[in-house]
Structure formats: C-alpha cells, structure tokens
Amino acid sequence: MKSHLPSIWIKTIGISLLLLWAGSGQYLSALSVQYAEGFSIEERRGYTLLHIHLPVSGREVSSTYVVVPRDSEKSISEKQIRETLSLDSTGPKVQFIKTPVKKLIPLSTTFLPPLELLDVEHVVSGIDKLDLIYSEKLRTTVVEQNIPQVGNGPSLDVEKVVHLKPVVVMANYTQGEWNVIPKLKKASIPVILNGDYLESDPLGRAEWIKFIGLLCGRAAEAEKQFNDIAEDYTYLKEKVASALSRDAVPPKVVMNRPMNGRWVVPGGKGYMAQFIKDAGGEYLWAQDSHSRSLVLDVEEVFLKALRADFWLHQYGRTSLEDLAGEDQRLGKLKAFQEGNVVNNDARMNEAGSNDFYESGPYRPDVILADLISLFHPSLLPAHSLYYYRYLQ
C-alpha cells in the first residue's frame, strides 16, 4: 500500500496544476456544473462540448454534443471543429447542435418549466400530451398556437415527430423511447437525453436548467437563475442547521403509503431523503444507502411508521377519510392521529397533473421552505405552503 502513496500525490498535484492552468487560461468556463452528476459542460473557443452520462438501467449511457452558437464572432466551421476534436479523441458519437435551438420537442413535462423560466417556451414545436401539463400559461400557449401532441414512450408518433422537423427531441428514457431513438436518428433528428430526474441532490436536479439554457442560447440567464436558487436553498439549509440545537430531536418522517401489501419508500441517499435532512427532519430510512426506491413489506414499514411525526406524499389520496377508507389500519399511525399527514398535491389540476413534479424540480428552494415550515414552523413564520398541503 505504502508504495502507491507517492503516485497518488503526484497525480493530485498534477491534476491541481492542470486545474489551475485551465482556470487561468483560455478554457475559463462561464458555465460551470457544481451539483449535477449527469452532465458536464466544456467551453472551447467558438463552441461548447456538452457531455451527458446517465446511469440508465444499470449501465452508463454517455454521449457528447458539440454545441455551436449560430452567430458567434469567434465563428468556427464544423470541419475545423471536427479536426480539433479528432485530436481530442472524441469518437463518431459526436453530434452537432446549432444554438439557440429553434424547434424543440420535449417528451416529458418536466423539461417545460426551465423553458418557461428562461422565457424561451416559443421553441416548443410539439409536446407529449396536453393533459400532462400543469402550467396554465403553457396550456394556453399549446391550445392557442395549436402545438401538436406527439405522445411519448411506446405510443410516440414517430411520423408526426419527423414531419414537425424539430432540431432536437428531448427524452428521459423512462417511458421506453429507446425503441424510437434509433428511428429518429435515421431521420437525422438528434435525441438528447435529459437526466434531471436521475439526480439525487435537489440542487443537482435544478441545475439542469443550465443544460436547457445552453441549448436555447440562454446560458448566462440560466446560470444566474440557478445561482439565485442555490443561494436561497443554502441559506435556508444553514438557517435550519444553526437554529436547531445539537440535542434537539428532529421530527421523524415516513413517506408514501402501502399498495397491495408493499410499501415503496424512497432510498436513504435519494432526492427526498436529502430534502428531509436539509429541512431538519429525520427520515426513517436515512441510514439506507440506496438512491433508488425500496420496495418493502407493509408490516415492516408499518412498525416503523407508527411513531413517525410526519407522513408525506399520499399519492392519489385526497383526504384523511379517503386514506383511512382505503385501509383503516393506517389510522393507527401517530402522524395520522395528530393530523400531520401532508401531501405534495396542493398544486394539482383536474387532469391529475401535479406541479410538484413539473416546476418543483426547478424550485428546490420552495420545496425546502415548505418542508421547513412543516417541521419547524417557528423558523419560517411568514411562509405559506406552496406545493404541500395538510390532508383534512
């Protein structure tokens, strides 16, 4: 073991020097990625390299896109870039995307909020399904401008997509689009994977606004908006940490509800676990080491959940009566008896689209504020719940 130490030191020093050089030199990056793990950005003179690397069903799917601004004074031809890149070893997988992208088809509603936040929703030339959209503004736009619905997953209408001639189709791989991606590629329509939902850090998920910003020519604005949100989030998180004395007992939190004898709970290293921790709560599975959800036997969770102070996310249930009507055993939970059953569906429309899953990922500061005001109301006395509501 000892003999390896010097080489590690040399590597560390080497990398530090490299970073220093990169930081001071021509590759100074305006867009930096701090929290997200699924994408990285490399700015070069006249173009930008966008790397996507996502863990999709157990293997890593990675791809690189060359993002070339349409009218840059440092304009550089595609041929020149190819020549430079061949030295940089990037393989034939590289695709070129001219920005700002003028026509985009987002195959998931979660890609819409950043477009709206950056004021570029006019690039949307097709959507998956109107019913899935929460944002009133976007719904009106879709109806007024007659933006076509192309479906998603196995029912994606490939012909319609090809006919719309989008510059980019944005997909998230969960709906089974892998079947159609090769077909679209043949029609030379690049499919960019957006992995925001795979991030386990709330700020990492929100940081994907930079990815959208880069593609839509709004990189600086995206950077600014994200920094504001990150600053808010960090401020709130630190406020909780300093306000709670070391021996204070944080409220215990359980999530979801049983379905067919199983109780699926988020893993201890996942997105919701991080939120609960940052909001000064004690998630009952905080010790677990998975970022994916855990499928547990109902009795196992029930025993733990009996003494939880808060109970979050009753997906699909709208009242306490509704909840106990489904399974009267749930009425035994302390959180139920004390009225601390909280749902993330304060903003859900008739069609069942929930804004928590639409704009929520891009406003982690608001979700955190909601959770803090639930767990420690005295810390944010002026805050009124935005995404959350108590079940009555």
Residues that bind other proteins in the complex, under the rule CB under 8 A:
131-132, 155, 258-262, 294-300, 302-303, 306-307, 315-318, 321-322, 325-329, 332, 351-352
**At its nearest, how many Å lie between other proteins and the CB of residue 347?**
15
Q: How far is the CB of 16 from other proteins (least distance, A)?
A: 42
- Taking the complex as a whole, the smallest distance from the CB of residue 1 to other proteins amounts, in Å, to 34
Between 9 and 315, whose beta carbon lies closer to other proteins?
A: 315
- Torsion region of 361: left, alpha or beta (phi above 0 gives left; psi -120 to 50 gives alpha): alpha
Q: Is 114 helix (H, G, I), strand (E, B) or coil?
A: helix
Q: Is 189 helix (H, G, I), strand (E, B) or coil?
A: coil
Place of tokens 């420690």: 376
Residue whose CB is less far from other proteins, 6 or 58: 58
DSSP 148: P
In the complex, what is the shortest distance from the CB of residue 265 to other proteins, in angstroms, rounded to a whole number? Answer: 10
Q: Which one, 36 or 308, has the nearer CB to other proteins?
A: 308
Cis peptide before 148 (omega within 30 of 0): no
Give min distance, CB of 294 to other proteins, in A.
Answer: 7
Q: Which of 169, 51, 227 is nearest to 219 (CA)?
A: 227
CA pair distance 240, 318, nearest whole angstrom:
30
- 94 or 324, CB closer to other proteins? 324
Residue 327 CB, nearest approach to other proteins (Å) = 6
What is the smallest separation between the CB atom of 240 and other proteins, expressed in angstroms?
28
Report the distance separating Cα 31 and Cα 35, nearest Å.
Answer: 12
Among the listed residues 126, 95, 96, the one whose alpha carbon sits nearest the alpha carbon of residue 111: 126
Nearest to other proteins of 105, 265 (CB atom): 265
| Three-state secondary structure string covering 294-363 | EEEEHHHHHHHHCCCCEEECCCCCCCHHHHHHHCHHHHHCHHHHCCCEEECCCCECCCCCEHHHHCHHHC
User: Least distance in Å: CB of 259 to other proteins?
Assistant: 5
Q: What are phi and psi of 318, to 5 degrees?
A: -110, -15
Pick 76 or 298: Cβ nearer other proteins? 298
Alpha carbon distance 283, 138 (integer Å) = 35
Residue among 177 and 278 whose Cβ is closer to other proteins: 177
Nearest to 376 by CA among 271, 264, 249: 249
Considering only CA atoms, give the Rg of the chain: 23
Per 3-state DSSP, the chain is made up of helix, strand and coil in percentages (nearest 5) of 45, 20, 40
**Local structure of residue 387 (DSSP, 8 states):** S
Q: Which is nearer to other proteins, 108 or 225 (CB)?
A: 108
Angle at CA of residue 276, ends 227 and 361, nearest 5°: 45
Looking at the DSSP bridge assignments, the partners of residue 97 are: 67
CB of 364 to other proteins, least distance (A): 23
Comparing CB distances to other proteins, the nearer of 140 and 319 is 319
Residue with smaller CB distance to other proteins, 95 or 318: 318
Separation CA 312–CA 255 (nearest Å): 5
- Minimum gap (Å) between residue 132 Cβ and other proteins: 8
